[in-house]
Amino acid sequence: MSFHDQQFEQRQQAILRAALALFRTKSWDRVTIAEVAVEAGIGKGTVYKHFPSKEALYAQLVIDDSLANIAEFRALHASLPKREAMRTVTRHAFAKLLDDPVMAQLFMHCDRPDFQERLAPEYRSQFDQLEHHYLAFFTDMLSDALGGPALSVEDYERLLWSADACFTGAMARVAAGGIGHLCGRTEMDAYLDQVTDFIMAGLHGMADMMLQAKAEGACKSC
């Protein structure tokens, strides 16, 4: 990497750090590019050289955090017994969101199809790649959690749709700051423990149903 490229990357990271610091002190959707520039100690025009819009800035924050999360989840998965890894990784993912509700809010915002459609092609491509990485990782982890039953790729995808629905719903609760009286850390931890157990129980139950349906189908064809 050239010296110029290093400077560009360092300045971009400084902008992202400044933006995130502001997002944690006031509503992130109300922070202006001008405020980010002041926080980063650079000119407003310089920010626009890196990010053509606030939406691009949001996207880059989520992309960078997602890539870091995947690396962290993979390392955690590799360090654990296969049957235990998925529950631990899922619960750890919830804990990270609970520790940083601003990022939970940004994840929810950037996951919307209408948001991604407004992004430049390079950002949309990165989100597509992220989805592929997450799907491949969680499919492998799910196979380990279920003991490697004879399910198809399509079966695993359907299982992950259900898990994702539960995860996204809980993430929305975290982003909103809690559920009614369940707004303290202790209460939210208990809530997320229960959601994690529900996800795992549902995955095992649905996998058993799929395997039973395959077995019954095989018997009928004999």
Same domain, 78 and 156: yes
Res. 222 pLDDT band, cuts 50 70 90: low
CATH code of the domain covering residue 25: 1.10.10.60
Same domain, 90 and 146: yes
Q: Closest by alpha carbon to 106, among 19, 185, 193? A: 19
> Last residue of some domain: 30, 51, 72?
51
Residues 192, 90: contact at Cβ < 8 Å? no
Same domain, 99 and 139: yes
- At residue 71, the pLDDT reads 95
**How many whole angstroms separate alpha carbon 222 and alpha carbon 208?**
21
Gap between the terminal Cα atoms of the chain: 63
Same domain, 41 and 90: no
Q: How many domains does the chain have?
A: 2
How confident is the model over 179-196, as a mean pLDDT?
84
**How many whole angstroms separate alpha carbon 197 and alpha carbon 203?**
10
Q: What is the pTM of this model?
A: 0.89
Same domain, 39 and 81: no
Count how many Cα atoms sit within 13 Å of the Cα of residue 138 in the half-sphere of its side chain.
25
Same domain, 27 and 46: yes
Q: Is 119 left (phi over 0), alpha (psi -120 to 50) or beta?
A: beta
Q: How far is CA 120 from CA 12, 60, 106, 124, 168, in A?
A: 17, 12, 18, 7, 25
**How many whole angstroms separate alpha carbon 166 and alpha carbon 191?**
12
Following CA atoms 148, 149, 150, 152 in sequence, which dihedral angle do they give, to the nearest 10 degrees? Answer: -70
Same domain, 123 and 47: no
Same domain, 142 and 81: yes
For a pLDDT cut of 90, what percent of the chain falls above it?
A: 69
Same domain, 206 and 117: yes
Chain centre to alpha carbon of residue 115: 16
CATH code of the domain covering residue 128: 1.10.357.10
Same domain, 63 and 35: no
Instruction: Tell me which residue range forms the domain holding 40.
Output: 1-51
Res. 11 pLDDT band, cuts 50 70 90: very high
